[in-house]
Structure 1
């Protein structure tokens, strides 16, 4: 390996590290409506209420369509609903909790 390749690899690794540090690993700030839905999805996943997943998903979609919920937040919440629907309750609960916890530090 020549020194040009080594230098490029170090530069790429450093650039990726900087991007990761700037963007963070969490959800970032969410709207009050997004926070309320995060609480609802957290409760849903905590209780493993499979029968309510589609109801909550429908409410999230309606809030997005009404302009009450930003599209990116609706996508995050729908991803969590997908985990609930697939029986990945722990993953869904952790994601909803992370979304709420990210608001506490702001």
Structure 2
């Protein structure tokens, strides 16, 4: 699908201070996310792209990688430096990377 045409990085290589863009929907975000992530749902990305920094690498994540691949392709075509986080938040959780959820709930990937 998109994976051939977009840069991909492994979960373990995303720096703790990296700009992590989460393009999942609100309910997915609330259930579990990386603490440093910035949330812009894919459906809002075109209108809100100006919020994404152009002067640094952008790591894009969704649940498993499909929506984030679309976001990476669009961002890179528009002049950003973006990479898809392989395996999305499912891989993030499996790798034991930090996660948080709304309301103090145990974070989960939905």
Q: TM-score range by the shorter chain?
A: 0.3 to 0.5
TM-score (norm 1): 0.33
TM-score (norm 2): 0.32
Higher Cα Rg, which structure: 1
